[in-house]
Amino acid sequence: MFWHSRAEWIRTSGIEFIIDPARYTNGGHAEKVIRPVAERFSELMRDLLYVVTAPQTTMVFGLASHGLYEGEDPPGNCLSMSPAKDLEYQWLQYTLSESLGFWLRDHGKEAQGYQKRIVDVMLEKRYPQDSRTGDIAFACRVGLVLVRSDGW
């Protein structure tokens, strides 16, 4: 499917997203202090790469979920805190309608699987009370810009 080949392309174009936590096994402070941080960072990087390479529908859903998670905005309008609210909202609406059309046309079943994963990431509070949900929302947008820029 289209996003599988796209994901493969990104993987082979230089992202070194793994920080090996196994490096920090020598006991003492490296294992107690550094390793947990390295593990969380590594996991976050994997999630971000996953999101960047996910289908458009998932990215848009991720943005909407970000809004829901923050509890500040209704679904689909997660960007109201932005000074460029109108502009961003137009962009979101455009990508949402485009993505949903694409999804409904061809990829319903597989896209549902991807959506479930992003729900796991966004809503099961793996990244509570810090900026990481924002990182994932950023990855959603990077994915959408890539889609828009190169026509995938």
Binding site residues, other proteins, CB under 8 A = 9-10, 13-17, 19, 24, 28-30, 32-34, 36-38, 40-41, 44-45, 48-49, 52, 82-84, 87-88, 90-91, 130-131, 134, 137-138, 141-142, 145-146, 148-150
Minimum CB separation of residue 74 from other proteins in Å reads 19
- Asked if 137 and 62 count as a contact pair (C-beta separation under 8 A), the reply is yes
Minimum CB separation of residue 37 from other proteins in Å reads 5
Minimum CB separation of residue 66 from other proteins in Å reads 10
Distance CA(64)–CA(76), nearest Å, equals 5
Minimum CB separation of residue 58 from other proteins in Å reads 17
Distance CA(52)–CA(78), nearest Å, equals 19
Q: What is the 3-state secondary structure (H, E, C) of 76-129?
A: CCCCCCCCCHHHHHHHHHHHHHHHHHHHHHHCHHHHHHHHHHHHHHHHCCCCCC
